[in-house]
Each structure stands twice: as C-alpha cells, then as structure tokens.
Amino acid sequence: RLATENRRKVAVPPGHTAKSLEEALLDLANILGQEWVKLNDVPLIDGDYHAVPLSHDSYHILDPGDFVASAVCWPANTEEVSKTVVWANKWKVPIWPLSIGRNLGYGGSAPRVRGSVVLDLGRRMNKVLNVDVENAVCLIEPGVQYVTLYEYLQSIGVGNDLWIDVPDLPGGSVMGNALDRGVGYTPYGDHWAHHIGMEVVTPTGEIIRTGMGSMEGSECWQLFRYGFGPHQDGIFTQSNFGIVTKMGMELLPNPGGVRVFMAAFPKYADLHEAIEVIRPLMIRKVIGNVPMVRLGLQDASLYKTRDDFELDERGVVKPESAQKVIEELNTGAWVFYAALYGPDEVTLAKYQYIQEQFHRRIPNTKFYQREDVPENHYLHNYARFTTGIPTWRELDRMKWIPNAAHLFFAPLSANNGKDAGRQANMFRARMEEYGFNYLGTFFIGTRAMHHVISFMYNRKDVAEKKKALACIRALIADAASIGVGEYRTHLALQDQVAKTYNWNNGAIMKFNEQLKDALDPNGILQPGRSGIWPKDYRGKGFEL
C-alpha cells in the first residue's frame, strides 16, 4: 500500500474509482520506487512564496479543493518520465508536469482536472547539464531555478561574464517560466525567444529532441534552433503536447556596463505621449532591454499598504489620496524604468538623447538615476534585475492587503499610446466598478507590450474571491470586444480566454484539437490546459 495519513479524502480522476486509482498508483510506485509516489491527502495549507504547496493552487480563486491532484510523483530522469507517461496511458490517468510549481497568479502547482497525478520534475531533475562559456548558452533540467542557475554560474567562476534574465521573483523554474512564455527585464526578457533546443517526452512516451538535437552527433543543438523541416518547439509552450525534460537557454554576455534610470510622468493622461516616445526608442534599439511603464499607485504598493490610503465606498484608493503618496514618494502618475547597456560613455549619450525625447513631448518628466534616490528605492532592485541578479523585493507587494493573493489579467497591447491609453481606461473603470484598484504595468517589447495587471484579493474572503473572479471574467470579455487578447491566464480562465481567439470560427482551436487527438489519443497529458481538451473530455462539462 502507498503510505497515507488519511488526512484528506484523495481526489479521484474521471473514469476511476478510489480502488482503481489505488491499483494504478501502486503500479506507478513499482516503476518509480515506493518513496517517489505520494498520495495527495495532506491538508490544503496555502504556505507562502518560499513554501509553495504541491497539494493545490495556493493563490486559489475557486475553492482550494477544486484543482487538486490525487498524487504527486518524482521521476528521476527522462527515461522515468517516459515510463510514467506510458503508465498514464495504460491506466488512463491524467497527468500534470511541473518544473517547480510556482506559477502563482496563473494556477500555482495545481492541475486543471481534479485527481490528475502531478509529476514534480524539479525535485530530482534539477541539474545544470552544461555551460558553454564561449557561446554563452547552457543546457538545463526542469528544476533549475533562476536563483540556482545564478548561483551555479557564480560557483564555476563565470557569473560576471554570463548573466541570466530574472523575472520579478527568482524562485521559479527557468524552463517552466519559458514554457509559459514569461517575461523578465534584460535584453533577454522574452524568455521563450531565448530558449535554444529541447528534449521532449511525447504524450505516448517517445523521447524526441528538437532542432539540431534531432541529429545524432550534432554539436549545434544549443547553437542553431531550427534543424531541418518543421520547427516544432512552439507547440510545447502553453500546451499539452509534451513534457520537456531538457532545454537550452541563451545567457547574456556581460555588456560592459549598465545604466538604469526612472522617469516619472506627472499626469495620468501622460501615458499616451510616454508610449509614443518609447516606441521608436524600442524599435530602433536605443533601449535594448524590456523596460516598463507602471502606474504610480502600483509603484507605491512596493512601499505602502492599502491602509496607508483613503478608500472610497467601493474600497478603491481615492485619486487625491494616491496623489498625496505619489508626491511624498516624489514619483508620478506613471513611472518608467529602463536600462541601457554598454560602456558608460555610450550609455550616457543614449541617456541624454532619451531625456530630450521625453522632454519634448512631456516637459515635466522627472528623471532619476541610482545616486538620486534613497536606499530603499526600487531603482536599486531594478539595477540588480537588469544585471541578472535575483532579488526578492517584489514580495513586499504582498503586504498590500492581508492574505494577499495575485491573479494576473495580462492582455497584449500594441506598442502605441492609443492602445495603451484605451486599455488602461477601460480596465481601470471595470476594476473600480468591482471595488478593485487597477494596478497596471506595461512590459515593453519591440512592437508589443504585456499589459500585466495584478489583481490582489484576500484569499480567505470567499465573497471577495467571487468578486475578483466575476471582475476578471468581465475584463476578458471587455478586452475581447475590442480585439484584445491575453498572453497568459489562470487555469480557471483558460477556457474563456481560448474562446476569445476566435478568428474564422475558432479555426485555431480546431487545429489544436487535431494535434491533441493525434499526439495524445488517450488524452492523458494535461487535459484542459490552454482550453485544449482531449476528445473524451469535450462537451462533457469540464469547461469552465
């Protein structure tokens, strides 16, 4: 028997009884070893960022028991992942791979279908397999976190020469984040764009390598991403078409210097002009990183809690109260953070040019470099992010309200003032109607921006959770009504978002379903991820 403390009733996957599940899990324990399969019968304790549970989504937006696994297992290597997939096909048990499981705001470590078996790859497959210093690339396993990759590069003496791109918090997996197409802050901030070569276990258990890795003896697996014929890599992101067991990542060679700065724009209406100034700077690569424009109040939430503000009857911070804090912090209605790379003389010339461009269109823009701000200022953390040094500063934001959980509403915006302005106004009005503050940040790419709006709610307050869910559903519908789609979303919302990608009668979902049915005939791998359901699940009430 599998060890159990019978603390909570185990969720049973569709098509199974408690007995057949037990039989299946005993078979899995024979394959992986008894100690590497564990029933998920532990109490659902939310923990915190440093102790994210594998039992459920600790930032639950539904009932914590809705998205729970029946068991967790820990394969040791690619072959064991493959054996686990073959096992899942034999017993028709849905499985859900994780690299680390810190997908907080998007579903955490939870599976979409209750009773799935979670494969926690990160626990035993967590090695940096290779660092090619000359070519600035590495090959990693799923469990390599940003912080561990950073420490590893330091430990082998190349940390000063080769930088990584860290997102806000470094406890996540380099691979898991890239597979969810997450973003960071350096010139390599589009994480997926900087992966190079993968090893994947398909839903029937075959092991493939992509790009040059598909050729026996090639030395270019981490050097040339395409290989010959169709380029498959993209279908393994935000999908349920394979389990990635190895991946190459490009590392950023030390560019010889970094100058970070913050620009503060005095008025809310300045957003339009600010983005208009930024676009040519991005397209012409005057600014080479992924800079951001964030609402002054969002910036202030790093230093303040909601109790520091006066709220209106809906619970929304009053504009005059926000303004008072913004003045106290000496920032603006919107703030812009960017990094310039290269030797000092080069970045100084660019900095002066950028200042001129802003001052022409927003004369009252205030500029700050590190020497202009106090020690606790976020700009110092930003300087660390943009040089690939992990920081935990973003956790300060979790003090905004008690029992804070995040839900991210993350639409894509064109890189222009018109789209940014209409989105900010539309989403702000809708969020305030529901009693939430619009806390928006635009992460700026060359031609498009991730407009990430962090939705904070008290996860112990059931009524507030319901309100947050209703609000984000309304936001998704609002966005779709003007042709705006999300780049990524929480598990509970993936069906809704997938349906908004509806050109030509939802042709893209039909194509995804054809792929799903061909690659995963038994529908065992992550049913429902990104709204893609295997044939046996379709139309049976699983969609939310």
394 or 543: whose CB is closer to ligand FAD? Answer: 394
CA distance 529 to 306: 34
The first and second tokens of residue 542, run together, are 């699983």
221 or 408: whose CB is closer to ligand FAD? Answer: 408
Alpha helices (H) in 390-502, listed in sequence order: 417-433, 462-481, 494-500
Decide if 150 is catalytic: no
Residue range at the interface with ligand FAD (CB under 6 A); choices 33-41, 177-185, 347-355, 508-516? 177-185
- SS3 of 355, please? helix
CA distance 181 to 191: 6
201 or 476: whose CB is closer to ligand FAD? Answer: 201
Q: Could you say whether residue 169 binds ligand FAD (CB under 6 A)?
A: yes
CA distance 363 to 356: 9
The single residue among 75, 159, 167, 211 that binds ligand FAD, judged by CB under 6 A, is 167
Residue range at the interface with ligand FAD (CB under 6 A); choices 165-173, 216-224, 285-293, 467-475? 165-173
| Residue 236: CB minimum distance to ligand FAD, A | 7
The single residue among 11, 21, 121, 275 that binds ligand FAD, judged by CB under 6 A, is 121
The first and second tokens of residue 248, run together, are 């190459």
The first and second tokens of residue 351, run together, are 């900095």
Decide if 473 is catalytic: no
Q: Evaluate whether 84 touches 32 at the Cβ level (below 8 Å).
A: yes
Question: Of 223-282, which residues contact ligand FAD (CB under 6 A)?
Answer: 243-244
245 or 347: whose CB is closer to ligand FAD? Answer: 245
Buried b (16+ CB within 10 A) or exposed e, 17-42: eeeebbebbeebbeebeeebbbbbbe
38 or 397: whose CB is closer to ligand FAD? Answer: 397
* 186 backbone dihedrals φ, ψ, rounded to 5°: -85, -175
Compute the CA torsion angle 519, 525, 530, 533 (nearest 10 deg).
70
Question: Of 442-481, which residues contact ligand FAD (CB under 6 A)?
Answer: none
According to DSSP, the β-strands at 71-73 and 37-39 are antiparallel
Q: Could you say whether residue 144 binds ligand FAD (CB under 6 A)?
A: no
Place of tokens 């009524």: 463
CA distance 145 to 149: 6
Residue range at the interface with ligand FAD (CB under 6 A); choices 19-27, 170-178, 253-261, 315-323? 170-178
The single residue among 168, 299, 464, 495 that binds ligand FAD, judged by CB under 6 A, is 168
Among candidate residues 59, 102, 106, 397, the one labeled active-site is 106
| Residue 39: CB minimum distance to ligand FAD, A | 20
Residues with Cβ within 8 Å of 533's Cβ and at least 6 positions away in sequence, in order, are 513, 516, 523, 527, 542, 543
| Residue 512: CB minimum distance to ligand FAD, A | 15
Q: What is the DSSP string of 148-169?
A: HHHHHHHHTT-TTTEE----S-
| Residue 413: CB minimum distance to ligand FAD, A | 16
Buried b (16+ CB within 10 A) or exposed e, 337-356: bbbbbbeeeebeebbeebee
The single residue among 94, 176, 248, 296 that binds ligand FAD, judged by CB under 6 A, is 176
Q: Could you say whether residue 528 binds ligand FAD (CB under 6 A)?
A: no
Q: Mask of contacts with ligand FAD, 83-112, x by CB under 6 A?
A: -------------xxxxxxxxxx-------
| Residue 96: CB minimum distance to ligand FAD, A | 6
308 or 394: whose CB is closer to ligand FAD? Answer: 394
Q: Could you say whether residue 177 binds ligand FAD (CB under 6 A)?
A: yes
Position 325: which residue type? V
| Residue 459: CB minimum distance to ligand FAD, A | 12
Q: Could you say whether residue 388 binds ligand FAD (CB under 6 A)?
A: no
* 221 backbone dihedrals φ, ψ, rounded to 5°: -55, -40
The first and second tokens of residue 166, run together, are 């860290």
| Residue 175: CB minimum distance to ligand FAD, A | 6
Residue range at the interface with ligand FAD (CB under 6 A); choices 84-92, 175-183, 418-426, 457-465? 175-183
- Residues marked active site are found at 106, 487-488
State the residues that interact with ligand FAD by CB under 6 A: 96-105, 121, 142, 167-169, 172-173, 175-177, 179-180, 182-183, 243-244, 394, 406
